[in-house]
Each structure stands twice: as structure tokens, then as C-alpha cells.
Structure 1
Amino acid sequence: MNEALKQKLSKLPVAPGVYFHKNTVGEIIYVGKAAVLKNRVRQYFQKTHKDVKTEALVREIADTDWIVVDTEMDALFLESEMIKRYMPKWNILLRDDKTVSYVRINMKDEVPYVSFTRNPMDDKATYIGPFYGKSAVEKAVRVLRRIFPYYTRPYNGKKTLDTDLGLTPGIEIGKTSAKDYKRNLRKLIRYLEGDREKLLKELEKTMLNESSKGNYELAAEARNQLFGLRELKKKIVFSDKEFLDISNDQALRQLQELLNLSEPPRRIEGYDISHQSGVNTVGSMVVFINGAAARSEYRKFKVRTSTSDDLKSLREVISRRLKHKEWEYPDLMILDGGITQVKAVLPLVEQYNIPVIGRNKSGNHSKSASVTLVFPKRSDLEARPKSSSSDCQPPDSPGLEHLELPSGSHISRLIARIDEEAHRFAIAYHSLLKRKNMLK
């Protein structure tokens, strides 16, 4: 251990969080989570018996950074997103991909149930995740079941032991209705997706309002859920994406500098178009909040006005998206394409003051593809601090410019992740439409 790292480790907080081990050139080689950062990170450097792979990892560690979060489950969620963004080599070597897990709830079912899966499908169900550590996720959701009772398998109307224990909503014994059960399931989904603080405030408001109206049963239900979640907050909760400290995220800070934004981009939307020879043309919109994928915000579009013209399809998708004022407008849009695509979209978003950039990669959507950004010329932007994102000087282009980013930079990792996700989501929808048409 070098002296600088030794000094750094002495400042580790007694708090949950995510840590990043780096090698001598600053590359992130391992991402991990901890209930107590001070204890977990120091374990790597203690003279205790370790397996061969962990010993090899420790020999490569030259530096360590960390992000403090509120709870253990915040750390679980953030760890998952950071692993997907950076794909550290030692996470791949030390982890079993089979531990990745999603929570699945299909609200289209008459009586939905909660389950877990490793492979989300485009079946209109809600998927929350991914999470690393299947047992930790299942444990957390079981704890939440005492506050928001749910079924764990397709409903058959039969009373079970879970009914007596209060772990099901009790539709089978007339305790509640399917409609009220779905209402409570939506609260569970919001909680799992990170809408925690807002949900707590709404439950408190509901409790007071129903009590003032004399609806004491509804007031008691809201009270029990409110008190249960407050107590749970002290133990184990899922990610609160809205309140993560994004000032510590280097990719978002560098994007702020590069694009002369007043703040780091909190909500980023990525777009992609997919079709096969002009057939089943679709568009995808993926959303990242504070650098983490917000799957509940994803949207897909079946293109109506164009079949094989990608520019017209992209303009249609962006136009339709902007009409949805109930969807929060983004702080940044990332397009799959270069100067042509950015120029096609800029007139649509100017009145909303939404920055737009393109990723020009000649059709290569892989994580290893180089990242070349296209964005408005620096001379067209207000004066701003010099960006530290890249040392190269971009060439001029009419109104727009290119900037080639180092393949391992923080911005490159984040943009590649967003682009890959937008491409995956578009392909999944296109494939679904293709299968449906083949069955006609």
C-alpha cells in the first residue's frame, strides 16, 4: 500500500456506500458495496487469508474512491449501475453473472404477483433492477411485504398460511379488493424504484386527510404504511435515485463542463431508431437519472410517418416525446448519430432549452466502441471553464464540432452505457413487432 492510499483509507467514513478500486493509471478495476465503508474497504489490506483472485486484485490496487449513500440498499442499487457502466475486469473475474436479478410485477394481470428473474422481457411487466446479489434483493422485498402485502405466485383464490400471517392482501378472504391491492402494489413499485421521500409525504398527507374526513380505516392503513416505511428506513431500503449526491459523479461533472451547463445533468435521455429495411420501424427512449438507469421512465415509439428514413423517424420520436409534458423534460438528450442527426433535432428542442449531443460511432454499439461526441460549437456557447474531459482539440464543422474521448474516460463509459441501453431497448421492441407480424 502506498502512503497516499494509506492516508486516504484513514478518512473512510463509518457509513454505507460504494467504493471504487483503481490501478496505477486510474482505471476502475473493481466496484463494491459496503454497509460500513471503513470496515469493508480496509479488509482488503489486512493481513488475513484471502483467496487467490482477491490477492491478485489487491496487488493491483493503487487508489480507492467512494461515494457515501444513506442506506445499504442504496449501495446495492448504485453498485449495480456502476458495474454496468464501468465493467471493471475484477468484477467480471470475481462475480457470477447469474446473481444479477430483477424484481418483476405485471400490473396488467387481474391479480398481480411479485417474482424475481435474471432475464427481463418486453412483456409489458414492470422490471426493477438489475441488482447484484439475488439473496440481498429477495430479503429486502420480503421485509417490504409486511408493509405492502403481495402474492408470490399466480392468484388461485385459495387461503394459505401467508394469508393468516398477513403477508397477502387477503383478496381470498374478502379483506380487500383487487383494485385496492393494485393501488398498494403501485406504492411498493414506487418505493423499489426510488420514489421514497415523495411517497412518505403522500402517505402522511393521506393519513391526515382521511382522518379529518372520518375515514378512519383508510387513515389507519396509510398510518401503518407510513410508520412501517419510516422504521424500515433505519434498516434496509432500495435506491433513492433522486437524492444521490451527483456532485461526486465525475462523468456528470465533466459533461457539465464540456457543455457549459449550470449544473450536472440530472436527467439524461438516450434515443435510438431500429428497423429492418424500413419494416417495423421503432424508436426508443431510455432515461438515466443521476447517472443510473431509471427503467420505469423508459418509453418506446412505433414510428408512424416514416419507414426507412432514420432522420424523419428520429424527428417524429423527439416531437412526440416533447408533447408529453407529464414526462419530466431532460437536462440532456443523447442521440445515436452524428452531425446530421443533431442538426435534425436541434430545431425541435431549442424552445425547450434542452442540450442535445450525438454519439457518432458508425453503427458500433458495443461497450468497446470509441466515443466521439457531436455538439454545438464552443464558439456558439457562452464562455466556460476549459474541459478536462480530453486533451485533443476537436476539428471545426459548420455549427457543430466533434470531440473524440479517451476510451476509458468517465464520460465515455457513461455515454456508451446509455447508447448501448437505448440500442438494446429499440432492438427488443423491433423484435417483438417482428414476431407479432410473423404470427399474423
Structure 2
Amino acid sequence: MNTSLAQKLKNLPNSPGVYFHKSTSGEVIYVGKAAVLKNRVRQYFQANRDIDAKTRALVAEIEDTDWIETDSEIDALFLESEMVKRYMPRYNILLRDDKSQLYVRIDIKSEWPHVSFTRNPADDKARYIGPFYNGHALKKALRYLRKVFPYYTKPPGTHRVDFDVHLGLSPRSDMTSQEYKSSLKKLIRYIEGDKLTITRELERDMNRAARQQQFEIAAELRNRLGYLRELQRRIMFGDKEFLDISKDRALDDLRLLLGLASIPARVEGYDISHMSGTNVVASMVVFTNGVSDRTEYRKFKMHKEQNNDFANMFETLSRRFSEKNRSRWKLPDICLIDGGKGQLDSAITARDQAGLTIPMIGLAKQHEEIVVHLERSRVRLDHKVLERLDGHTMTSDKFTLISLPHSSHIVKLLQRIRDESHRFAVTYHTTLKRTSQTKSTLEDIPGIGPVTRKKLIKAFGSLRGIEQASQTDITQVVGDKLAQRIISFVKS
């Protein structure tokens, strides 16, 4: 261990957090979480510690260590998962002892979904969250969160009342399927980083129940808020809450390669999703200091349905850079467009018409090449940096295609942003597609107008949800007479 690192380890805090071991080149070679950073990180360098060969090899490569403090162990767990996906450190693979990653599985389409864990996601329409790399810690975190968002751990029986209900770990016996699913969706959003919004929603619901003199429900929501606050505030990725950004190799290399004025603290990624020009949507994902910042994500539904990704990208960026959205949302330091020359050119045109000078690049899928417009991308390619990164270029039609090794920090970062924008766009497109299918079917039922259709879609989400709902559940939404008509039509 070098003198600089030894001095640095003396300043380790006693708080929970995530730590990053780095090699001589600055590469992040291992990401881990700790309940107490001071104790956990120092363990690696204890001379008399009995460690296996793989860990010994890791320690031999460690030249520097950084860390992020979090407000709770649960926050550290979720942040660790995000950072492993962000950096893909090689020792996280080597030290996993051949264990696969763990996912949280929620069969959200069932009438009474339950939460479970799996190492092998299946194409069964269930919701999978992950992957996570510490199964024991993940299960412990979900046990704590169960007090805030009560859920079943196995398919409930006919009567549903069990001992966990009395402990507040399973949903109340008088809770409807829709209310239960709404609670589960909050759990999913919490895991994905939207805790502040969820806290505000729980406070709003508690105050509403109190005004309506539903004091038992208000008390339950008060208790859930208390449990949530015990977990402390979910870490938000602000400029001062992440690692020293100048030490992030991918962001710094990106700045140098493209000649940016400063390290791109806010990167926005865009993608288009549709099926033959129907249910056309776009996603905007935000990475702050190299980490996904889900509270800043936005989605767009195209005003005009067309099978033209260039026109759809132009509309998306035009709306994003409208005067209203520029004042509501922060402007990015650079934009990443999922696609090649055409998509990038359309995005740049929208930016230019908005009178902005934000740098823009694309990422072509086939060979993971960075696409840059020679005159309009607002970047200055540094060929010395390109050579240092073992990259090369090819120029045609005023565009330069930059090829870097797929193992490089820059490519890993851009792939992560591109994949996240694709996932977010496809998820929104799938939701709209199911909703439109449900809507078209409901239009065939006599007496079901737009207002009633909207209520049903909001309550059950899809035609399958309506088919699986009981007549009692549907009656609570539209009344007994319409419920009987819907039931008889759907069953037939």
C-alpha cells in the first residue's frame, strides 16, 4: 500500500456507503458496499487477514480508493448495484464465486402479486428489478421496506388474512387489488430511486384520509412515513454528493477526447420507440456525474404518429428545448442520441433552431461507434487523446465515426446511457400499446364511453387486468350495472 493511500484511509468515515478500488491507471477495478466504510475498507489491507487468492490479487492492484457516503445501508445497497452496472469492474466478476446476479421479481399482472427473488429472469410478463450483487443484503433491505410497502411473499390463499397482516407486513384484508398494486408500484419506484416523490405522495394521502375522517388509514400512512424516514433520505446525485468528478476516468476522457469546456456533469440520452409508426414515444434519461438520475427522466408521446425516426427525434428535441422546458429542466452539458447520422442530424437541427450550442453526439448500434458531425456537433476531436485511447476514426458525409475499444471507460459509460434510454422508451411504448389495445376492445361494449374507459384503464391497466378482476372490483369503479355488462362481454 502506497503512502498516499495509507494517509487517505485514515479519513474514512464511520457512515455507510459505497467504495471504489482503483488501479494505477485509474480504472475502477472493484465496487463494494459497507455498513461502516472505515471498518470495511481497512479490512482489505490488514496484514494478518486470511484472504483467498482472488482477493489477494485485487489488493495487489489497488493504487487508490474513493468512496461515497450514503444515509443508510439500503441506500448503499441500491447505489452499489447502480455503480457496478456503471463501471462493470472486472474483480466484481472474479470475486462472485460463480454466483449469478439476483433480481427482485414481482408478478404485477396477477390479481394479488407477490414479491420473490430469482437468479434467472423469465419472459413471463412479471416485473424484474436488478441485477443486484449481494443477495443477503438485498433480502434484508426488502424486509425493512416491507414495513413501508406491505406485500405478499407467496401467492395468498383464498382468505388472504394471515399473521403478517397483523404485523403490518402484508396488505390489509379490506385493501382492494388495485390499492395493493399501487403500493407495490411505489415500492418499485423506491428501489429505482424515486423516494422523495413517494414521501410526498404518502404525506398527501395521509392528510387526505385525515380530512375525510378515515383515521385508521391516516394512522397507517403515518406509521409507514415513520418507517420510511427511519431509512433516511435516498441519496440524490448532486454535484457534491458523488465522487470527486474530476477523478471519473470516463467523464474526464470524454471531455478531453471531444474538447469540451468542462467535465459533462449532466448527460442526457435520447431514444425513440414505436411499432410500425404506432404508439410512437421517446425517452430522455439523465446521468448526473456518470450515474443514472431517475428523478430527472422524462418521456414524450409524439404529436404525429409516423414511422420516421428522424422526424420523431426532431420533434423530441424541439419539445425538450422549448422555452417552457428549458426553464423547468436543467440544460445538459452534452446529449447522446441513440442512432447514427440521420438521428443525430435531426437532433442537431432541433437544437440549432432553439438557438442553443449544446454538444451532441450519437452512438451507432452495430459497432458501438461514436458519431460526430464535423461542423455542427460543437465538439473538437483531440487526435492525441484518441491515440492514447487506442481509437481510430473514419470520416464520410461530414460525419466522423469514432471507434474505441469496447473495454474503454468511455464506451462503457455511453453504452450504459444508451441502454437505459432504450429501456425507458420501450417500457413507455409497451404501456401505451397495452392501453390502446384495451381501449379498442372496450369501445365495442355498448354504453362504455370515453370517461368510463379512462376509469377502467386507470384502475386495471390493461384488458387482461379487467379480465382478471372480480365483479366486485369492477363495480367499485363503474357501478353494478356497467360492471355486469363488462363482465358478460369480456367473458364471452
Category of TM-score, reference length = shorter chain: 0.7 to 0.9
5 Å-filtered alignment, 1:247-396, equals: 248-249=244-245, 250=248, 251-252=250-251, 264-266=264-266, 268-271=268-271, 285=283, 287-290=285-288, 291-293=290-292, 305-306=306-307, 311=310, 331=332, 332-350=334-352, 351=354, 355=358, 357-360=360-363, 363-365=366-368, 372-374=370-372, 377=375
Of 219, 223, 241, the residue aligned with 1:245 is 241
Using a 3 Å threshold, how does the CA distance of structure 1 residues 17 and 129 change in structure 2: closer, same or farther?
same
Aligned residue for 2:14, secondary structure, equals: coil
Deviation at 1:130, TM superposition (A): 2.2
Residue identity in the other structure for 2:350: L
5 Å-filtered alignment, 1:4-403, equals: 4-47=4-47, 48-96=49-97, 98-120=99-121, 125-158=126-159, 159-171=161-173, 174=174, 176-233=175-232, 240-241=235-236, 245-246=241-242, 248-249=244-245, 250=248, 251-252=250-251, 264-266=264-266, 268-271=268-271, 285=283, 287-290=285-288, 291-293=290-292, 305-306=306-307, 311=310, 331=332, 332-350=334-352, 351=354, 355=358, 357-360=360-363, 363-365=366-368, 372-374=370-372, 377=375
Deviation at 1:123, TM superposition (A): 5.8
Residue identity in the other structure for 1:217: E
Aligned residue for 2:225, secondary structure, equals: helix
Say if 2:357 and 2:378, in contact at 8 Å, map to a contact too: no
Residue identity in the other structure for 1:87: M
| CA RMSD, Structure 1 to Structure 2 (Å) | 4.7
Tell me the distance in 2 between the aligned counterparts of 1:20 and 1:330: 29
- 1:307-345 deviations in whole A, cap 9, x for unaligned? xx764575577689999x8x9788354223444431122
- Name the counterpart of 2:457: none
Using a 3 Å threshold, how does the CA distance of structure 1 residues 82 and 142 change in structure 2: closer, same or farther?
same
Aligned residue for 2:154, secondary structure, equals: coil
Using a 3 Å threshold, how does the CA distance of structure 1 residues 127 and 263 change in structure 2: closer, same or farther?
farther
Say if 2:68 and 2:243, in contact at 8 Å, map to a contact too: no
Deviation at 1:178, TM superposition (A): 2.2
Residue identity in the other structure for 2:268: I
Deviation at 1:388, TM superposition (A): 11
- 1:242-300 deviations in whole A, cap 9, x for unaligned? 5582463434577678585899544632427799xx99999874735433457896979
The normalised TM-score by structure 1 is 0.73
Tell me the distance in 1 between the aligned counterparts of 2:208 and 2:424: 41
Using a 3 Å threshold, how does the CA distance of structure 1 residues 329 and 119 change in structure 2: closer, same or farther?
farther
Tell me the distance in 1 between the aligned counterparts of 2:97 and 2:429: 30
Deviation at 1:372, TM superposition (A): 3.2
Say if 1:377 and 1:401, in contact at 8 Å, map to a contact too: no
Using a 3 Å threshold, how does the CA distance of structure 1 residues 131 and 360 change in structure 2: closer, same or farther?
closer
- 1:330-388 deviations in whole A, cap 9, x for unaligned? 835422344443112223355395946334557124xxxxx53526758958xx9x999
Aligned residue for 1:102, secondary structure, equals: strand
Using a 3 Å threshold, how does the CA distance of structure 1 residues 157 and 330 change in structure 2: closer, same or farther?
farther
> Could you say which structure has the larger radius of gyration?
2
Tell me the distance in 1 between the aligned counterparts of 2:33 and 2:361: 33
Tell me the distance in 2 between the aligned counterparts of 1:334 and 1:37: 35
Tell me the distance in 1 between the aligned counterparts of 2:58 and 2:82: 21
Instruction: Give the number of aligned pairs.
Output: 413
- Name the counterpart of 2:486: none
The normalised TM-score by structure 2 is 0.67
Aligned residue for 1:153, secondary structure, equals: coil
Tell me the distance in 2 between the aligned counterparts of 1:107 and 1:322: 35
Tell me the distance in 2 between the aligned counterparts of 1:341 and 1:64: 40
Residue identity in the other structure for 1:3: T
Q: Indicate the larger mover: 126-135 or 346-355.
A: 346-355
Deviation at 1:105, TM superposition (A): 2.8
Residue identity in the other structure for 1:91: N
Using a 3 Å threshold, how does the CA distance of structure 1 residues 42 and 117 change in structure 2: closer, same or farther?
same
Say if 2:374 and 2:399, in contact at 8 Å, map to a contact too: yes
Deviation at 1:43, TM superposition (A): 0.9
Say if 2:278 and 2:305, in contact at 8 Å, map to a contact too: no
Using a 3 Å threshold, how does the CA distance of structure 1 residues 194 and 86 change in structure 2: closer, same or farther?
closer
Using a 3 Å threshold, how does the CA distance of structure 1 residues 376 and 143 change in structure 2: closer, same or farther?
farther
Query: Which runs of no fewer than 5 residues in structure 1 stay unpaired?
Result: 366-370, 434-440
Tell me the distance in 1 between the aligned counterparts of 2:92 and 2:212: 54
Tell me the distance in 1 between the aligned counterparts of 2:417 and 2:377: 27
Deviation at 1:413, TM superposition (A): 2.5
- 1:197-230 deviations in whole A, cap 9, x for unaligned? 3332343344345434533223212211111212
Say if 2:348 and 2:376, in contact at 8 Å, map to a contact too: no
Aligned residue for 1:166, secondary structure, equals: coil
